[in-house]
Structure 1
């Protein structure tokens, strides 16, 4: 019979192989940051320059296959 440690290891390997583990970690990080975000102070209006910069960063992350990082950055939208 497999031990708990062996089962955890097998589950981790399976989730990593399917690409799910990274997505789960990114989602948890996004939720933590969202919970810590101070909603009482409104954000300043987004200028056209900042919008362009944000889109360039998002495009860079997607181009380089940093999907999990991009998902954390876009989770608050």
Structure 2
């Protein structure tokens, strides 16, 4: 007769081989974060416009790749609205033009592809400063100007 330890190992191996164990762990994490957030909603800072857009790009990517529990943790932890932003609105806010084929994948794929395959200005992209306040570590770095 199998011992409890052997039975636990067999169940774990079966769940792992079916790909269910990772999903269960992610679902438990999502539920824990959701429960914690329900008790402390006022502690979360308000989302900036940039964070809202970034989180939405990430959520679209996660949902496309069927990482639904990870997406639910992102939504719960970040304060992102439960209802995803409209894709056309998101593309407009990012100044992105799409063709029919690009609409079949998340916007993040198109953005990464654009920058990986774009050969303008020697492969470098000119980045402008964010509207976010500087983080604590950014004030410690000097410039050699």
Q: Under a length normalisation based on structure 1, what TM-score does the superposition of the two structures give?
A: 0.67
RMSD, matched Cα: 2.6
- Please list, as runs of the form range in 1=range in 2, the aligned pairs for 1:1-77 lying within 5 A after superposition: 1-37=1-37, 38-39=40-41, 41=42, 46-59=47-60, 61=62, 67=67, 69-74=70-75, 76=76, 77=82
Q: Under a length normalisation based on structure 2, what TM-score does the superposition of the two structures give?
A: 0.41
Unaligned runs of 5+ in 1: none
State how far apart, in whole Å, the 2-side matches of 1:71 and 1:14 are: 25
8 Å contact kept, 2:30–2:70:
no
The structure in which a higher percent of residues are helix is 1
Q: Which has the larger radius of gyration?
A: 2
Higher relative contact order (CA 8 A, sep 6+): 1
Unaligned runs of 5+ in 2: 77-81, 83-145
Number of aligned residue pairs: 74
